[in-house]
């Protein structure tokens, strides 16, 4: 038995590291390049060198992140044009969805106003309505919404 195990342990072939998981690679792509540790940066660079589609996707994701965080909505048409030139069907679907209401998307990416507070109240009211479904009428729902707020 020992003769079988020893030759395997002393093999001259180098041990290949496991490739990173898709979730790990997605995390590297979505993180700011400045905040990426050096080892992760080198691994991402190796992955992107092997897959040109993933390299193109990374460029598009980072450009869109700049538009989003910098409130630079006026650059969105430039991003959409770049996405159309590449053969990335998933991004084409996203781009088509954004183009359906381009003016509103550009305004949302540019203007400082947000409807987050209103959406939060609507979400809270819908939750209360679901909790009370079939138990009482509108009058009790109205009192519950007014007292819970």
| 74-110 pLDDT tens trace | 999 999 999 999 989 989 999 999 999 999 999 999 9
Residue 34 within any structural domain of the chain: yes
Query: Alpha carbon of 64 to those of 1, 41, 123: distances in Å?
Result: 59, 20, 28
Q: Give the global pTM.
A: 0.70
| Within-domain flag for 6 | no
pLDDT computed for residue 149 by the predictor: 65
Predicted local confidence at residue 73, as pLDDT: 93
Range of the domain at 123: 116-148
Same domain, 56 and 91: yes
Residues 6+ apart with CB under 8 A from 5: none
> Looking at the domain assignment, is residue 76 inside a domain?
yes
How many domains does the structure of the chain reveal?
A: 2
């Amino acid at each position: 038995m020992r003769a079988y195990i020893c030759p395997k342990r002393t093999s001259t072939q180098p041990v290949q590291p496991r490739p990173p998981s898709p979730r790990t690679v997605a995390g590297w792509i979505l993180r700011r390049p400045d905040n990426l540790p050096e080892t992760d940066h080198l691994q991402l660079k190796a992955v992107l060198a092997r897959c040109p589609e993933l390299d193109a996707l990374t460029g598009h994701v980072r450009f869109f992140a700049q538009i989003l965080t910098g409130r630079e909505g006026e650059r969105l048409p430039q991003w959409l044009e770049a996405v159309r030139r590449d053969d990335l069907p998933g991004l084409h679907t996203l781009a088509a969805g954004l183009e359906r209401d381009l003016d509103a998307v550009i305004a949302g990416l540019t203007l400082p106003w947000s409807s987050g507070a209103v959406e939060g109240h609507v979400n809270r009211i819908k939750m209360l309505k679901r909790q009370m479904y079939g138990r009482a009428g509108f009058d009790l729902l109205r009192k519950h919404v007014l007292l819970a707020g």
